[in-house]
Every structure is written in C-alpha cells, then in structure tokens.
C-alpha cells in the first residue's frame, strides 16, 4: 500500500492507535502503553503497513511528547488534529458513545480527508524534548523538596 493514516488518541498512560487506508477502511487498531519500547514496537508494526504514513495526534502536550519525539527522530510526518475538531467530527460517525478506539479512528480519518491540519515539524523537536524533560523533572523536584523540607501540603 502506498499511503496510510495513523490516528492516535493520546492518553497519559496509554494511547490508542488506528490505521486507515485511502478509502477510510480500518487496517489496524491497538491500545499501546506510553513507554518507549511499546511505542517503538507500534511504530515498527505500523510502518510495515504502508510506504508512506501520516501520523495524527489529538494532543500536543507532555502526554504525546515521547511519541512525537520518536516519530520525528524517524522522519515520520506528524499532524495535529485539535481535540475540539475530533469531538465535533465524532458526532458524524456511526457508533454510540465515546471510546478511545473510535476517537483514534476519527483522528486518522480526519487526517486522511483534511489538508488544513498543522504539521508538527522537526524544528519543534526542541519544544517536545523540553516538555518531556519538564514532565520528568517536576515529580523528582517535588520529591526532593518533600525530603528536604517535609510535606507542607496541609
């Protein structure tokens, strides 16, 4: 297959990825842990499905930082589909309720159909790395402060 779109519904501890082809047919759907080894396995498995992939994410925050950094480091194209756009579009798709799998499908399908999405560029990689470092440092800093000064939370 020439081209496929990967929609990723971003979560704190887990993401859900769905791959669609040019006709919008679902080729792959899986929940994946938000850790490096699981994400690398996902990237490898999905990369075997098409020559060219467009990855689409619904959050551009610390939760997506590791995935985005791994994708950009591998030269993958990543686009941002705002959460509000996903929520509005989801109402037009079949299926009751909100699930991670449905949202990931909507994200992939919107990336397939739209040409006005923001591309996450490699020059933004520094921002992604800084978000990752910040996310890692904040809990450690708080832990050190508690050890030094005691828990001052009332």
> Which alpha helices (H) appear in 74-124, and where do they start and end?
83-90, 100-113
CA distance 95 to 8: 18
Query: Would you tell me the crossing angle of helices 36-47 and 62-73 to the nearest 10 degrees?
Result: 50
Please give the pLDDT value at position 12. Answer: 93
Would you state the pLDDT for residue 83?
85
Describe the strand order of the beta sheet including 14-20 as a list of residue ranges.
Answer: 26-33, 14-20, 3-9, 52-57, 77-80, 118-120
Rounded Cα gap, residues 120 and 112, in angstroms: 16
Whole-model pTM: value is 0.78
Task: State residue 123's pLDDT score.
Answer: 63
- Parts of the chain with a pLDDT under 70: 95-97, 122-154
pLDDT at residue 133 in the model = 66
The per-residue pLDDT for 90 is 83
Q: Which two tokens stand for residue 138?
A: 């904040």
Q: Which letter does DSSP use for residue 101 in this model?
A: H
- Give the per-residue pLDDT at 141: 46
pLDDT the model gives residue 137: 64
């Amino acid at each position: 297959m020439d081209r496929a779109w990967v929609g990723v519904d971003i979560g704190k501890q887990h993401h859900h990825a769905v791959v669609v082809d040019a006709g919008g047919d679902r080729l792959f759907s899986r929940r994946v842990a938000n850790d490096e080894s699981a994400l690398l396995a996902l990237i490898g498995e999905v990369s075997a499905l098409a020559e060219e992939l467009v990855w689409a994410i619904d959050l551009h925050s610390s939760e997506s930082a590791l995935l985005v950094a791994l994708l950009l480091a591998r030269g993958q194209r990543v686009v941002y589909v705002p959460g509000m756009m996903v929520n509005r579009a989801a109402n037009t798709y079949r299926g009751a309720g909100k699930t991670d799998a449905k949202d990931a499908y909507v994200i992939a399908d919107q990336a397939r159909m739209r040409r006005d999405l923001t591309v996450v560029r490699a020059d933004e990689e520094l921002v992604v790395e800084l978000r990752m470092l910040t996310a890692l440092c904040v809990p450690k800093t708080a832990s050190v402060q508690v050890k030094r000064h005691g828990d001052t939370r009332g």
